[in-house]
Structure 1
Amino acid sequence: MKSIVLLYLLFITVAHGESVCDAISFVNRAGWGAREPTSITNLTTKPLSLFAIHHAEDPPSCYDDESCVERVKEIQIFHQHNQSWVDIGYHFLVGENGKVYEGRGWDRQAAHSPGWNNDAYSISFIGNFSTSSPNEKALKTARSWMNCGVERHYVTKDFYVITHRQSQRPGYTTW
């Protein structure tokens, strides 16, 4: 009887397989010590079919958990205090340590690109990539996170990706 139960559990595990989302190291807002937003606006329609890719020019790139958490906190402080936004502007941030940090998450409107904040999910790479690309670990993580969004039905299967520069008038941003 024990072997039948073990065989059944093995079958269930193989049949369901691992989710692409399970393979991603995700740090929620509590995990990086996010401040509370001053207000919340939920996205009105989902799934979305667009990702807008950004980079956080300052602070610099991060390669370990401690520095990435510090960078995300710095970005949130800059957005709330200098930009007067209600929260960090991005839905998600990706460090060169290969982790995804929750900004506003899948359900909230962001403040990443005027005119696109209710129509596109934003992913910001932590660091300045004007002269070089994010490392392979960060790029793979971002792509996996996009696929996770599809798997969880936040994003359409036929989504497309643009850079922040493509979403704005010439000269508005450098990337």
Structure 2
Amino acid sequence: MMEKPQIIKKELNMNLNFMSDLKREDIKFLIIHHTGVSLDQRVETINNFHKNDRGWAGIGYHFYIRQNGSIYRGRPITKQGVHTSSVNSKSLAVCLAGNFNSNKPEEFPDQKEALIDLLAWLSHEFPNTTLEKNREFNNTSCPGDNFNIHQIREEVESRINEKKDLPNISRRINGKFDGEDFKGTAYLIESRVYIPVRVLEDYFDVTVSWNRETQEFQIDKR
């Protein structure tokens, strides 16, 4: 059983009766956002802005994570969010405080760790979902040019595997590449080393893509 992270529930002033229902079986995406401002805003501030300035029924996100790693519940997961116009009816939204056009998630390790924990739990609760960025659906930079969705997906998968009690697994191991310290995350599973594809892309200056229709991968030189 995947352990649920601690989620703080504030008494936010929301008009739940004006929110459309969201059916569990319709949820296909877990979508990541950022606030786009450097301030570490309170969840009440986001709720009041969405409600009073934008005229929504309440905060548009289902979860909100501050830079200290505190996770807050936004609108209920039984209600549609207001965050990604084309897929609000089939997604849950997780928003990070901060601007990842100017900062990197690694600068706020507690927040990033909380994000991994939350996404791992949500992925377990909604196993048919995929992790996506807001910008995959809308014309926006959200959640920022410095937000590496591939790395987040790999860390979430690793966290899920950890909870499955796989034997002899270490989430992070050190190593060298061509005599230099290996800058990236590698995994040790039953004495075999696994290196994420996205990390190797940088070392070999290639791009690895996946064709969902043919179910084949392709490696191209940059």
TM-score under structure 1 length normalisation: 0.71
Write the distance in 1 (CA, Å) between the matches of 2:53 and 2:38.
Answer: 14
Relative distance call for 1:83 and 1:41 in structure 2 (3 A) is same
1:149 to 111, 119, 122: 122
1:105-116 equivalences under 5 Å are 105-116=76-87
Determine helix, strand or coil for the equivalent of 1:148. helix
**Which ranges in structure 1 are unaligned for 5 or more consecutive residues?**
1-17, 62-67
Write the distance in 2 (CA, Å) between the matches of 1:49 and 1:147.
Answer: 15
| Cross-structure match for 2:137 | 167
**Residue pair 1:59, 1:74 contacting (<8 A) in 2 also:** no
The one-letter code of the counterpart of 1:116 is V
**Residue pair 2:31, 2:134 contacting (<8 A) in 1 also:** yes
| Cross-structure match for 1:41 | 20
Q: State the superposition RMSD in angstroms.
A: 2.0
1:1-175 equivalences under 5 Å are 19-21=2-4, 24-30=5-11, 34-37=12-15, 39-46=18-25, 48-58=27-37, 60-61=39-40, 71-134=42-105, 135-151=108-124, 153=125, 155-156=126-127, 158-169=128-139, 173-175=140-142
Write the distance in 1 (CA, Å) between the matches of 2:79 and 2:89.
Answer: 9
**Residue pair 2:7, 2:72 contacting (<8 A) in 1 also:** yes
Write the distance in 2 (CA, Å) between the matches of 1:44 and 1:140.
Answer: 28
**Which runs of structure 1 show a deviation greater than 3 angstroms over 4 or more consecutive aligned residues?**
none
1:2-34: CA deviation from partner (whole Å, max 9, x where unpaired): xxxxxxxxxxxxxxxx8421xx2310133xxx1
TM-score under structure 2 length normalisation: 0.57
Determine helix, strand or coil for the equivalent of 1:29. coil
Write the distance in 2 (CA, Å) between the matches of 1:91 and 1:146.
Answer: 12
Write the distance in 2 (CA, Å) between the matches of 1:143 and 1:49.
Answer: 18
CA apart distance, 1:47? 6.1
Write the distance in 2 (CA, Å) between the matches of 1:144 and 1:51.
Answer: 13
Determine helix, strand or coil for the equivalent of 1:144. helix
CA apart distance, 1:59? 6.5
**Residue pair 2:24, 2:78 contacting (<8 A) in 1 also:** no
Determine helix, strand or coil for the equivalent of 1:141. helix
| Cross-structure match for 2:189 | none
Higher relative contact order (CA 8 A, sep 6+): 1
User: What is the aligned-residue identity percentage?
Assistant: 21
**Residue pair 2:8, 2:72 contacting (<8 A) in 1 also:** yes
Determine helix, strand or coil for the equivalent of 2:96. strand
**Which ranges in structure 2 are unaligned for 5 or more consecutive residues?**
143-222
Count of matched residue pairs: 139
**Residue pair 1:20, 1:147 contacting (<8 A) in 2 also:** no
Relative distance call for 1:76 and 1:144 in structure 2 (3 A) is same
**Residue pair 1:59, 1:75 contacting (<8 A) in 2 also:** no
Tell me whether 136-145 or 83-92 shows the greater mean CA deviation. 136-145
